[in-house]
Amino acid sequence: MRKQGRDAQNKKIGSISFDLKTLCTATNNFSIQNKLGSGGAGMVYKGTLPDGREIAVKRFSGALHQGITELGFIVLIAMVEHPNLVKLIGFCYEKMEMLLVCEYLPNKSLDNYLFDPNRRAQLEWRTRYMIVRGVCRGLLYLHEDSQLTIIHRDLKASNILLDKDMNPKIADFGLAKLLGRDRTHEITRKNGGTLGYMAPEYYNKGQFSKQSDVYSYGILVLEIVTGERNSEFEGSSDALYLSTYVWKHWRNGKGLDVVDKSLGNLYEQDEALKCIQIGLLCAQHDRTKRPSMSQVSSMLDSPNEISKQPCEPGYAPVLDNSIVISSPEQEQALFDTYRDVQERQTV
């Protein structure tokens, strides 16, 4: 039985592997003209395969093969297919080069639209609501409907790619982890992720779970509704975070006041309020009070009002766009900053 599993895995690896020469040709030797973007782990380039398929090639830099250094994990990701997940076409591991080959999505990432004053107008309400629902379906698949429980750990607007019809696809599984069978959470000493989207328990204790992904989803939903970036929020003198700002308006019965002004009156008020309520429920400090993604899906699909009311959201300090906590000293320093921010928040 194990031999059959290994044979199937080897067959899968062979079917998705590329040689380096093919990818060099496809990307014009990774030319600057083909560069789509960059991150802490490396560069992403557009390419064209001999059969005409357009691809995105992620070229990892140096030894930073974050989370995808084992072929077994690559195979795992390749087996995870869903309309709201970016499809992995293949990989290359040759001559000290590590590359991932994914489908190319022409509209790039959500943050290119959501936080750009000129492009934001292209995100009409119907599109935003479709993105909220699509990301929910993709995350639900990772958590509950695939063969294994996968925790993304870095869900954010820049990791939501959009196809030609603006359908969302969750991307970048470089920090993804498996949640063990019958485990509610796991603990890591290296908290890779993006501040502003990291759940408090993940930031403070390295504790990741389905609920930590749910927290990130909640922050993302609030960004989609408001058009504000959580990590650069400056919309209120009495709220350090977007989630706090939204919650205070919600608590005072003024939830619609936070809806992105660029939408004017061209949005469904009931849907907007539902998204705000869901976002706040997902972003609650106590992870046990956050809904599961299956519950979120039911809320979005139901025409009924949501009876459950959110408590005050949790926070992790927003100091930089991304961070990897790599030592106890760094963790303590960041925790001290977090505590200071919390004290300011409650004054």
pLDDT at 346: 43
Active site residues: 154
Model pLDDT for residues 54-109, shown as the tens digit of each residue? 999 988 776 545 444 445 565 566 668 899 999 989 888 887 788 889 999 999 99
Model pLDDT for residues 293-306, shown as the tens digit of each residue? 999 999 999 999 99
Q: Which residue has the higher pLDDT, 309 or 14?
A: 309
Q: Is the pLDDT of residue 311 over 80?
A: yes
pLDDT at 261: 94
Q: If you average pLDDT over residues 155-171, what whole number do you get?
A: 95
Q: Which of 24, 12, 27, 202 is CA-nearest to residue 88?
A: 12
User: Percentage of residues in the chain with pLDDT exceeding 90?
Assistant: 51
pLDDT at 316: 67
**With the C-alpha atoms ordered 286, 289, 293, 298, is the resulting torsion angle positive or negative?**
negative
Q: Is 121 exposed, middle or buried (0-12, 13-18, 19+ CB in 10 A)?
A: exposed
Model pLDDT for residues 187-231, shown as the tens digit of each residue? 666 666 788 898 888 888 778 889 999 999 999 999 999 999 987
Q: If you average pLDDT over residues 131-159, what whole number do you get?
A: 93
pLDDT band at 323 (very low <50, low <70, confident <90, very high): very low
Q: Which residue has the higher pLDDT, 35 or 78?
A: 35
pLDDT band at 47 (very low <50, low <70, confident <90, very high): very high
Q: If you average pLDDT over residues 16-31, what whole number do you get?
A: 95
pLDDT at 95: 77
Model pLDDT for residues 227-241, shown as the tens digit of each residue? 999 877 665 555 678
Q: Is the pLDDT of residue 10 over 90?
A: no
pLDDT at 173: 77
Q: Which of 139, 41, 43, 33 is CA-nearest to residue 82?
A: 139
Structure tokens at 242: 């977007």
Q: Which of 202, 200, 165 is CA-nearest to residue 283?
A: 200
How far apart are alpha carbons 130 and 271 in whole angstroms? 11
What b/e readout covers 26-51, taking b as 16+ CB neighbours within 10 angstroms?
bbeebeeebebeebebbbbbbbebee
pLDDT at 237: 57
Q: Is 231 exposed, middle or buried (0-12, 13-18, 19+ CB in 10 A)?
A: buried
pLDDT at 67: 41
Q: Which of 14, 20, 24 is CA-nearest to residue 78?
A: 14
Please give, one letter per residue, the 3-state secondary structure of the chain.
CHHHHHHHHHHHHHHHECCHHHHHHHCCCCCHHHEEEEECCEEEEEEECCCCCEEEEEEECCCCCCCCCCHHHHHHHHHCCCCCECCEEEEEEECCEEEEEEECCCCCECHHHHCCCCHHHHCCHHHHHHHHHHHHHHHHHHHHHCCCCEECCCCCHHHEEECCCCCEEECCCCCCEECCCCCCCEECCCCEECCCCCCHHHHHHCEECHHHHHHHHHHHHHHHHHCCCHHHCCCCCCCCCHHHHHHHHHHCCCHHHHCCHHHCCCCCHHHHHHHHHHHHHHCECCHHHCCCHHHHHHHHHCCCCCCCCCCCECCCCCCCCCEECCCHHHHHHHHHHHHHHHHHHHC
The full set of domains in the chain, from first to last, is: 2-103 (3.30.200.20), 111-346 (1.10.510.10)
pTM above 0.85, yes or no: no
Amino acid at 161: L
Q: Is 111 exposed, middle or buried (0-12, 13-18, 19+ CB in 10 A)?
A: middle
pLDDT at 30: 96
How far apart are alpha carbons 194 and 318 in whole angstroms? 9
Q: Is the pLDDT of residue 280 over 90?
A: yes
Q: If you average pLDDT over residues 101-130, what whole number do you get?
A: 94
Q: If you average pLDDT over residues 282-291, what whole number do you get?
A: 95
Q: If you average pLDDT over residues 303-328, what whole number do you get?
A: 68
pLDDT at 340: 46
Cβ neighbours around 159 below 10 Å, total: 25
How far apart are alpha carbons 88 and 86 in whole angstroms? 6
Q: Which of 210, 239, 221 is CA-nearest to residue 279?
A: 221
Q: If you average pLDDT over residues 268-282, what whole number do you get?
A: 98
pLDDT at 256: 97
Strands 323-324 and 192-193: antiparallel
Q: Is the pLDDT of residue 266 over 70?
A: yes
pLDDT at 329: 41
